[in-house]
Structure 1
Amino acid sequence: MKNRTADHRERLDAHVLVCTNSREEYDCCADAGGAETLTAVKAWLRERDAFWSSVSVVETGCLGLCSEGGAAIAIQPRDEWYSDVQPEDVPALLESAFGPEADRVGNTTSQPADD
């Protein structure tokens, strides 16, 4: 076993966690477009040549924000949590976190978009 904590901390600035959890008895991200939202996150980063960057995209199980309105997303370590995210919401969400061209990927805190 290798402890790679230091290497990983140096390389990664943010983790975008996208829930695709499926449940039968309750609303869940799988039924609310979780897979499509995950695809939209990856596509947005790829379009800006930031997919294989210091942003990690992770498909997760339940983030505790289940609804029928869309998927749950968390951006860590920024401690930002979103629910009801639809694929068409992804550009605005990631733009606010990382900048229009993902030019703030290396920053550890998000900044509001310029008005």
Structure 2
Amino acid sequence: MHEQTERIRESGFTDHVLVCTNARDSEHAACAEADGDEVYAAVKTWLRERGVFWSQVHVAETSCLGLCSADGTAIAIHPRGRWYSDVCPDDVPTLLETEFGPDATRLGRSDTDDE
């Protein structure tokens, strides 16, 4: 095992957006059926357009984040400690602008920065 915290910080990484794309064969809601792939693509597009995708902001598909809904996808943004449910592809620009600023210049904040 190798800790990579310093290397990642030195590379300029500041934030991680986790997008649930979990699918399941059951009667319960899952993000895959609630446009999870489309939300994931919209997140990547918004970040690419601002030049921060995979440089400062990493994006990852995840399995269940515990916020299942038939009305949209779950997203977590760290280190901010922000959690969202029911996110639709059209919600992504507003959500990311609220979190990161219109030009993605408010990066590297934690949930305690607003207190």
After TM superposition, the score normalised by the length of structure 1 is 0.88
Once the 2 structures are TM-superposed, how far is the Cα of residue 6 of structure 1 from its aligned partner? 1.7
Matches of 2:5 and 2:47, distance apart in 1: 24
Aligned to 1:13: 14
Amino acid at match of 1:87: P
Aligned to 1:33: 35
Matches of 1:50 and 1:9, distance apart in 2: 14
What do you get for the CA RMSD once the two structures are aligned? 1.8
Matches of 2:54 and 2:9, distance apart in 1: 15
Gaps of 5+ in 2: none
Matches of 1:95 and 1:80, distance apart in 2: 14
Q: How many residues align?
A: 111
- 2:31 is paired with a residue whose SS is coil
Once the 2 structures are TM-superposed, how far is the Cα of residue 53 of structure 1 from its aligned partner? 2.0
- 2:16 is paired with a residue whose SS is strand
Runs of 4+ aligned structure 1 residues displaced above 4 Å come to none
After TM superposition, the score normalised by the length of structure 2 is 0.88
Amino acid at match of 1:60: T
